[in-house]
Structure 1
Amino acid sequence: METVQSVRAIIETGGKQYEVTPGLILRVEKLEIPEGGTFETDKVLLIRTPEQTLIGTPYVPGAKVIAKVLKHGRGEKIIVFKFKPKKRYMRKKGHRQWFTELQIEQIVVPQ
């Protein structure tokens, strides 16, 4: 296993896919890891280095991404408004989604 600085990867977490590079700060769905902890995932869908591109089926075997948990928080409020004309029906709700902020430390590329 080697670590490469000019590498990109696509990972899956929280039902979504993210393109990551070392040093990137990323907001993902809330993870149950304390602040300052380490997040490690082997759900790597694709790795791209200057020499090669590895595509997983569905994941690349032996590849992993290591990140540091910076903080937890809640996003901006969005308004959910439901309205039915001529029926006197209106509902207004607000929602703030929980998130975890990660800093990608390294992407481990299999040999």
Structure 2
Amino acid sequence: MYVIIETGGKQYRVKEGDVVNVEKLDAAVGQVLDLNQVLLVEKDGNVTVGAPVVAGVTVVAKVLEQGKGDKVIAFRYKPKKHVRVKKGHRQPYTKLSIETINA
């Protein structure tokens, strides 16, 4: 059984026991979240697609960690003009452990 959930403007395919990094959520480490934006449910070969969400289905997830991803370097230059601009960015994320799927 797996579901497709939406959080942070992105969609993730998860099943029980998965660990997934999602866009940063305002939640403390160890907190249990109920994710109710379930777009699709697959159970025993039967697929249920929501319009836009599947009613009555929630995903229980536990927050494992709040962190930052790898650094991404954005470098811009103009040749022969001594223009060099270097910027770095680390995207924050929340690591979730999918505990149960209530369907």
TM-score range relative to shorter protein: over 0.9
Q: TM-score, normalised by structure 2?
A: 0.93
- Provide the residue aligned with 1:65 in structure 2: 59
**Matched residue count:** 103
Q: Distance in 2 between matches of 1:22 and 1:55?
A: 19
- RMSD of Structure 2 on Structure 1 (CA): 1.2
Extract unaligned runs of 5+ from structure 1: 1-6
For 1:58 and 1:85, the matched residues in 2 are separated by 50
Structure 2 match to 1:82: 76
- Gaps spanning 5+ residues in structure 2: where? none
- Moved beyond 3 Å, runs of 4+: 84-88
Decide which of 43, 47, 60 is 2:37's aligned counterpart. 43
Which residue of the partner structure matches residue 21 of structure 2?
A: 27
CA–CA separation in structure 1 for the residues paired with 2:36 and 2:78: 46
Letter in 1 for 2:9: G
Identity level (%)? 47
